Amino acid sequence: MTEPTAPPVAEKREHSYTHHGVTIADPYHWLRDQGYPTIDDEDVLDHLKAENAWFEARMAPQKALVEELYEEMKARIKEDDSSVPQRRGDFLYWSEFEQGTEYRKHYRRPLAGGDAVVILDENALADGHEYFRLGAFSVSKNGRYLAYSSDTNGSERYTARIKDLETGELLADAIPGIRTSLTWVAGDTAVVYGEANENWRTLNAKVHVLGQQVSDDVEIYREDDESFSVDTGLTAQEDWLVIATGDNETSEARLVRADNPTGEQILIAPRLKGREYDVDVRDGTIYVHTNDDHVNFRLATASLDNPGEWTTLIEGSDEFYLDGFELFKDFYVTEGRLRGLDQIQLRSYADPNLVKPIAFTEASFSTGLSNNPEYDQDKLRLAYESMVTPDSVYDYHVATGELELLKQQEIPSGYDAGLYQVERIEIAARDGTMVPVSIVSRKDRAMGGPLHLYAYGAYGIAYPPGFSTTRLSLVDRGFAFAIAHIRGGDDLGRSWYLQGKLNERTNTFNDFVDVAKGLIAKGYTSEGKISASGGSAGGELMGVVLNSNPELWGAVVAHVPFVDVLATMLDKDLPLTPGEWPEWGNPIESKQAFAYILSYSPYDQVVAQDYPPLLVTAGLNDPRVTYWEPAKWVAKLREFKTDDNELLLKTNMGAGHGGKSGRFASIYEVAEEYAFILWQMGEAK
């Protein structure tokens, strides 16, 4: 194949649509294969292949830098690594990577003594596939069976299988097309799952009895609202099955006896728009975590006889954001954030005023409960990290309050935390709101140097100030790495999220731009010396700030970017759209929502101006951000931009939303991203 000498130029084909009296021209609409989810249009595939060829040609001179970065990143990974064993029932469970392998092996060993046994080898399952992802992984309560699911093309349509761990045999049972957990019920004779329909939505819960035909599986719940999705799980004592359904702002839950999953169901409380709740049960008492009377949630209790009458146990608080809880035999745990920092609190059933926080001393960190499968626990498994402290696994001894470090991520090539510093500062957004920023850098870095700025800012998902081995490859080359905790995430509580969604969505974009300007004003860097990146909804963020403030950025990377926002939100047949309307607005029904989304939708707001260097990634099988969004965006940018800066699109032809799946393949893609940034920022040495 001849190496290309010019970027591909997408053909323009006349296409438009009209809503609320407004007509939108969309000449690159043809890049959406009209047979989707089948993608076999030769014109579409040829264009994507041409973009990939251009990516390869332009990155070819940087091959040595990519390899250098990759080897650095790979050297920081302990190749023969294992997780800390954890007890469940009569066994200890853990997983291991072997030298040179991409995926994990899962092991267990009897507590009573005996040899370790491999119960699942992901490498064997991945053999022959370009992509592999393990989904559900659930061992039956009696320890005999393993139910697991896997995806081999990135479409997030998983196939479930059952393995007999006593014989090592794989049962004939195979359940295709699921995307939920696998929940053991009926004395470990059956699993509950949800099907993904043709639009990738899970609207039901079914019971599969081991050994029976999948066609005979009994549906125990069917959701009528296509914007909702269904999943299941067990309560703390594993005696109740929870059937949960909801969208991004409303939820509803039912209970049914786990030993009789086809029996009578108990509705906790009927759905009420804007009310979210989730439940657990202990000794006949229902615990309800809900936002019904405070934006930062409260914890309440109810009886099984009157499940909709909730009595407050922990009141909602302006200061403490209560984002979850977990019940154990002798105590329960609440998790949340205080002033933006993660909190774990032990609480007493007998004394609601007795609160024992688990304290950490760093100024900025990320922590939370890890895997604690036993109801009767005298120690809690915790995860902890910061921007300078590698991933750490602790056991917290409940009786003594002792934190026992079990394992800290090992970095074979060496790591000296004393070389680095972490700062947490606040920068004023244009409306006066103070936005937190976490920054890690070398202590010997001169102020004013290059800086990488990252954010997500959507769906109420906080981006934690955690550790990254790959990030060191930028930081050790003189970059500061900053995380902007912008509105749209719930970093500072639920209201922080609400201030970045629907009709306040533009706060998210403004916060990011204002943080960048604030970092310049404070002397951390200068205009044009900032690289920026984000993925998915964070890729939408990249698209908006490229349009609004192109002069700020020295290089930008947008991963699987959600950039064709208006067209996607107008297409009710796309997998995610109905469930996304509470997040973005429904432009089909609302003229105001249509106009507002149009005002920032990155694809629709591309204009004739200079744009900074840009690398865009996509996944052909991505069901979340469909491949044509980044493809159309890049095509339109090529048409309009008035500069000669690099514009590259790389589409993974055998992967989905998360890029390549193996641990080494995935860091190679990070190496490509960082090589692009260093090259374009003039920092490649």
Structure tokens at 210: 């081991």
Q: Which positions ≥6 away from 302 have C-beta within 8 Å?
A: 268, 285, 286, 288, 308, 309, 310, 311
Three-class SS state of 547: helix
Q: Cβ of 402: how many Cβ atoms within 10 Å?
A: 11
Instruction: Provide the terminal-to-terminal Cα distance of the chain, rounded to the nearest Å.
Output: 31
By the 8 A CB rule, do 464 and 453 touch?
no
Q: Is the pLDDT of residue 484 over 70?
A: yes
Q: Is the pLDDT of residue 32 over 90?
A: yes
| Spatial separation of the C-alpha atoms in residues 648 and 612, rounded to whole Å | 12
Q: Is the pLDDT of residue 1 over 70?
A: no
Element (H, E) at 387: none
The pLDDT assigned to 681 comes to: 96
The pLDDT assigned to 574 comes to: 86
Phi-psi region of 154 (alpha: psi -120 to 50; beta: other; left: phi over 0): left
How much is the average pLDDT of 4-8?
Answer: 95
Q: What is the pLDDT of residues 342-355, one digit of tens each?
A: 999 999 999 988 99
The pLDDT assigned to 660 comes to: 62
What CA dihedral angle connects 60, 64, 67 and 69, to 10 degrees? -110
Q: Is the pLDDT of residue 662 over 80?
A: no
Q: Is 121 a catalytic residue?
A: no
The pLDDT assigned to 528 comes to: 94
Bridge partner list, 229:
246
CA angle 257, 259, 260 (to 5 degrees): 65
Q: Is the pLDDT of residue 658 over 70?
A: no
The pLDDT assigned to 624 comes to: 81
Parallel, antiparallel, or unpaired for β 105-110 and 117-121?
antiparallel
| Spatial separation of the C-alpha atoms in residues 357 and 350, rounded to whole Å | 17
By the 8 A CB rule, do 587 and 594 touch?
yes
The pLDDT assigned to 550 comes to: 98
Q: Which positions ≥6 away from 372 have C-beta within 8 Å?
A: 86, 326, 328, 380, 381
Q: Which positions ≥6 away from 209 have C-beta within 8 Å?
A: 186, 189, 190, 216, 217
Strand locations in 328-464, DSSP E?
Answer: 332-338, 341-347, 355-357, 366-369, 379-385, 392-397, 403-408, 420-428, 434-442, 451-454
Annotated catalytic residue within 342, 395, 564, 622: 622
Average pLDDT of every residue of the chain = 95
The pLDDT assigned to 288 comes to: 98
Query: Nearest CA to 508 among 563, 466, 460?
Result: 460
Q: Is the pLDDT of residue 661 over 90?
A: no
Q: What is the pLDDT of residues 594-614, one digit of tens each?
A: 999 999 999 999 999 999 999
How much is the average pLDDT of 639-650?
Answer: 98
Q: Please provide the CATH number assigned to the domain covering 86-234.
A: 2.130.10.120
- pLDDT above 70 coverage of the chain, percent: 99
Q: Cβ of 650: how many Cβ atoms within 10 Å?
A: 24
Q: Is the pLDDT of residue 367 over 80?
A: yes
How much is the average pLDDT of 398-403?
Answer: 95
| Spatial separation of the C-alpha atoms in residues 2 and 623, rounded to whole Å | 32
Annotated catalytic residue within 149, 536, 601, 661: 536
Structure tokens at 79: 């190749």
The pLDDT assigned to 684 comes to: 82
Class of the CATH-defined domain 16-74+417-680: alpha beta
The pLDDT assigned to 657 comes to: 63
Strand locations in 223-306, DSSP E?
Answer: 229-234, 240-246, 251-257, 266-267, 277-282, 285-290, 298-303
Parallel, antiparallel, or unpaired for β 229-234 and 218-222?
unpaired
- Helix extents (H) in 16-60: 42-59
Determine the residue type at 610. Answer: D
C-alpha Rg value of the chain to the nearest Å: 25
| Spatial separation of the C-alpha atoms in residues 428 and 538, rounded to whole Å | 21
2 or 525, which is more confident: 525
| Spatial separation of the C-alpha atoms in residues 42 and 40, rounded to whole Å | 6
Q: Cβ of 507: how many Cβ atoms within 10 Å?
A: 24
Determine the residue type at 260. Answer: N
- pLDDT above 90 coverage of the chain, percent: 90
How much is the average pLDDT of 18-46?
Answer: 96
Element (H, E) at 87: strand 86-88
The pLDDT assigned to 33 comes to: 95
Query: Nearest CA to 544 among 572, 518, 514, 513?
Result: 513
Q: Is the pLDDT of residue 655 over 80?
A: no
Please report which confidence band the pLDDT of residue 621 belongs to, taking 50, 70 and 90 as the band edges: confident
The pLDDT assigned to 172 comes to: 95
**For the chain, which residues make up each domain, given as ranges?**
16-74+417-680, 86-234, 317-410
Instruction: Give me the sign of the Cα torsion angle 316, 318, 321, 327.
Output: negative
Q: What is the pLDDT of residues 191-219, one digit of tens each?
A: 999 999 888 889 999 999 999 999 999 99
The pLDDT assigned to 243 comes to: 98
Q: Is the pLDDT of residue 659 over 70?
A: no
Q: Assess whether the region 16-74+417-680 and the region 86-234 belong to the same CATH fold.
A: no
Q: What is the pLDDT of residues 428-466, one digit of tens each?
A: 999 999 999 999 999 999 999 999 999 999 999 999 999
How much is the average pLDDT of 397-425?
Answer: 96
Bridge partner list, 24:
17
The pLDDT assigned to 321 comes to: 97
Q: What is the pLDDT of residues 61-81, one digit of tens each?
A: 999 999 999 999 999 999 889
Helix, strand, coil fractions of the chain, as percent rounded to 5 = 20, 35, 45
Please report which confidence band the pLDDT of residue 573 belongs to, taking 50, 70 and 90 as the band edges: confident
What's phi and psi for 503, nearest 5 deg?
A: -80, 0
Q: What is the pLDDT of residues 229-250, one digit of tens each?
A: 999 999 999 999 999 999 989 9
Q: Is 622 a catalytic residue?
A: yes
